Amino acid sequence: MLLQQQIDDKRKEVRTDSYAMSIGEWISMYQGGEVDIHPVYQRFFRWTPSQKSKFIESIILGIPIPPIFVSQLGNGTWDVIDGVQRLSTIYEFVGILQDDEGKKRPPLILEAVDYLPALKGKRWDNSEDPDNSLTLSQRLDIKRAKLHVNLILHESDTFAKYELFTRLNTGGSSLTEQEVRSCILARSNMKMLEFMRELAKYPSFRESVNLSDKDLSEQYDLDLVLRFLILRQLAEDKLKNADDLQDLLRREMIAKAESLLSDDEFAAERQAFEHTFDFLYHKLDGKENCFRRYHVEKEKFTGGFLLTPFEVFALGIGHDYTNICQQSNAYKDIIKKFWRDEYPNIEPRVKWTNAMARLKITIPLGRKLFSV
């Protein structure tokens, strides 16, 4: 009975509809501002020209295309949850795709494909080069082709829409968890996403974490910024009862985005972030001994960024940053003591446990070490 009750309750949270629409209708809706594919998503969902060309080939060949998932907004427009790159490719090929600034992007020129090699070099319609354009008949065939749409109606629960977005864009996807979270913020609170990007560029933070180009390309810097914003003052009961870190971050991020409404609230978060990383970088010698491993015998820090000391030091200092005094030597001793006395005991535990279990060790330890 309990399971059935849960099923009935959750089904009430998501109201849907589904049907097939012609590509011509999708084109008209985009031109009329009735469907939002969020140009900012192009930073996260990237198909190569070859992938785009193969997708257009699939449409021409009549190969079934996975359905597009959209969410209906209060004004009746559609917000694309899954299918951004498919629709973007169609719009780019037709020559109507706009970038972040509302400017039209150059039309897609098809590359070599497997089954229709004569498509190479073709464009949608170019009056100056008709030999390398699709014919009117070919264009009409594409516009009449159907794409199925699954519509999440406006009455659906807000968090259910975010959950659907996450599930659709992580299973079998190359996106990192933070890239998915960034997409959610782009849809729900662009101001918070831009705020996180600003913090990620703060010199003391960038120098302290000293991430690789690969980490930066996968938005690991934004991941660390979000962890700081969410976890530094996370209530003990939430920490204790949480089982999955990614679920916790996603839920708390949405709550944070809804609570950060005023300039003063953003300013307070900025102050906590900047004060913490200024202290870590300027008072504790920055990347020399912030988040790298300290070798007790050699008495020096080596290697690259480690998440465990970030959770202990940054979140520990950030928890009560206003009371951190200027006696930097005392904190240097605390950090070295951590590596000498604490880390050898917790390393086996943090190495073989999941992320949430590790945080239940590192966050309380950091708050204890840096309490004043």
Can you give the pLDDT at residue 234?
93
pLDDT at residue 153 is higher than 70:
no
Residue 348: pLDDT over 90: no
DSSP 133: B
Q: pLDDT tens digits, residue range 301-331?
A: 888 888 999 999 999 999 988 888 767 778 8
50-68 tens-digit pLDDT: 999 999 999 999 998 888 8
Helix, strand, coil abundance in the chain, percent, nearest 5: 60, 10, 30
At 153 the three-state DSSP class reads: coil
Length reported for the chain = 372
Give residues with Cβ within 8 angstroms of 42, minimum separation 6: 84, 88, 99, 100
CA dist 132 and 312 (Å) reads 60
Q: DSSP for 232-279, please give it.
A: TT--HHHHHH---HHHHHHHHHHHHHHH--SHHHHHHHHHHHHHHHHI
Contacts of range 326-330, beta carbons closer than 8 Å, 24 or more positions apart: 326/283, 328/279, 328/283, 328/284
Q: What is the DSSP string of 331-350?
A: HHHHHHHIIIIIHHHHHHHH
Q: What is the mean pLDDT of the chain?
A: 84
What pLDDT does 235 receive? 92
Q: What is the pLDDT of residues 90-142, one digit of tens each?
A: 999 999 998 777 788 899 999 999 999 999 999 999 888 888 999 999 999 99
Q: Is the pLDDT of residue 10 over 70?
A: no
Q: Is the pLDDT of residue 266 over 70?
A: yes
